[in-house]
A and B are shown apart, each in its own frame.
Chain A
Amino acid sequence: MAALTYALFPGCSLESTAREFAMSTEAVCRVLDITLHEIEDWVCCGASAAHIRSDLLGLALPLVSLAAAERQNLDVMTCCSACHSRLKTSVHEFQQHPELLAKVNALAEEQFTAQTRVLNILEVLAREVGTETLATKVTRPLTGLKVACYYGCLLTRLPATLRTDSAEHPRMMDDLLACAGAEPVDWPHRTECCGASLTLAGRPTVFRLVRELLQSARENGADCMAVGCPLCQANLDMYQSDAQAKYGDVPAMPIFYFTQLVGLALGEAPQALGLDRLLVSPFDLLADRKLSEPVGERF
């Protein structure tokens, strides 16, 4: 395998509430010899707000960071699926509409040429590294861990733009975690929405969707969920107790970033993967499956 090097677009969430997504990404890439150079002075991609206020702003914010990556002459790797959607959709729009690219370049004082490839960490692991190569590096197979792979909205949609996987029946994360030794379950809600940014402005909707997702995952045999989006993770993890209090019939389960599970399979320490930062503690489950020492509650 040739050495892989990317310009990393971490995104805002990975600097605060999704710190464990960043930690586990760094750990996994270190083990797999993937070199990451953080994009110089990157800015927020505007996901979930900018495109509602203005088409131009929704394109200009990604362009500023993409232009910086282009100067580094590297393909871009994203973690957050919402950032991924915004960055890749912008490149696609600019390639389709050169006059729009010229206009946004002028507004942003940039010279982006829209030739940059944008890949999500899921694609990098499943396709660029490849599941066969990854399987040879697994030292702690996730045997007996039944996981519901949750793609949510923006890892696959729109498929014509993102070209990740099927929009209705994606398999990429399932295949990745299966090669890490886990048992992905078949469940119908893998591409349903978690309520996303209604986390502030429409919480009853989020509670309802969190309940539907957790119930579906459990009914189909999952004892945990794997996600690739900080907003999905926050809604499912942070509001799990609220949904339980409101409805009384919501199962409890840890919500991992899939990079945390891959890191665990590669032999990384739970603390290095930020597993202790998850609100719904995964340690009872992991200890039961002999994947981690039992860890007492921190508070």
Chain B
Amino acid sequence: MKKRILTSQHENDLLQEIEDRVGAPVGTCYQCGKCTGGCPVCAEQAGGPREVIRLIQLGCREEACGAAAAWRCVGCLTCACRCPLGIDVPRVMDTVRQIAQRDGVKLGEGALKMNSFIEAFLDGVRDYGRLYEPTMMVQYNLNSGYLVTNFHKGVIFLARRKLTAWPGRVKKIERLRRLFARIAEEEKWPR
């Protein structure tokens, strides 16, 4: 039987699913805080990866999967290097975000912005096979409603010839679309 500390008494489906998918003993985290101490992106708010892990241990599905700290994770892997239990913490953050999508968890403003970025990015990859950064930025602005983000940077980029011609579609685009469709069906992506 697995040893767990500080977990709630009731059945914790969320913890079980995350431990199975990540392959790490998330339930044994004893909140040392090294992950959060080294986290570069969680200074703007309370919490951090430690809080997300605690919410998972407590079985708080909505709070863990919608946590601003999880949605801000950029995958820098600092915490993964420093966790004394060897937990791949960014993978935990990815997993709660995947569960949030699948289960339709309500997201706050920061999480919605990150989600807009992910969708703008992946729509570009699915439709063209490569990411063309200028169109991705425009798509992000449309998705998020922040219409003029970085508009002035585009002007500077043009002047420095950083914006090159659109590279076009890859030849295997149909195969790539089938790949996206198969994964979306298997994982029950929304929309």
Residues of A at the B interface (CB closer than 8 Å) are 12-13, 15-17, 19, 41-44, 46, 48-58, 60-61, 64, 107-109, 153-154, 157-159, 167-168, 191-193, 195-198, 200-205, 208-209, 238, 276-279, 298-299
Interface bin, chain B:
35 or more
Q: Give residues 133-159 of B contacting A (CB, 8 Å).
A: 133-134, 137, 140, 144, 149-150, 153, 156-157, 159
A60:B121 contact, CB within 8 angstroms? no
B160:A16 contact, CB within 8 angstroms? no
B144:A51 contact, CB within 8 angstroms? no
Partner of A12, one of B21, B131, B161: B131
Partner of B137, one of A57, A191, A200, A279: A200
Closest 9 CB pairs of A and B: A49-B121, A157-B77, A193-B40, A193-B76, A196-B74, A201-B113, A153-B76, A12-B131, A43-B129
Partner of B75, one of A48, A168, A191: A48
Partner of A17, one of B117, B133, B140, B189: B133
CB-CB nearest in chain B for A277: B160
Q: State the main secondary structure of chain B at its contact with A.
A: helix
Also in contact, A299 and B159, with CB within 8 A (given A159-B81, A201-B144, A209-B40): yes
Q: How far is the CA of A70 from the CA of B25 in the complex (A)?
A: 36
Also in contact, A44 and B162, with CB within 8 A (given A157-B78, A201-B144): no
Residues of A within 8 A of B160 (CB): 276-279, 298
Q: How far is the CA of A108 from the CA of B150 in the complex (A)?
A: 35
Quote the shortest CB–CB distance from B101 to chain A (angstroms): 7
Residues of B at the A interface (CB closer than 8 Å) are 21, 40-41, 43-44, 72, 74-78, 80-81, 94-95, 97-98, 101, 110, 113-114, 116-118, 121-122, 124-125, 129-134, 137, 140, 144, 149-150, 153, 156-157, 159-164, 167, 170-172, 175-176, 178-180, 182-183, 186-187, 189
Q: How far is the CA of A94 from the CA of B94 in the complex (A)?
A: 19
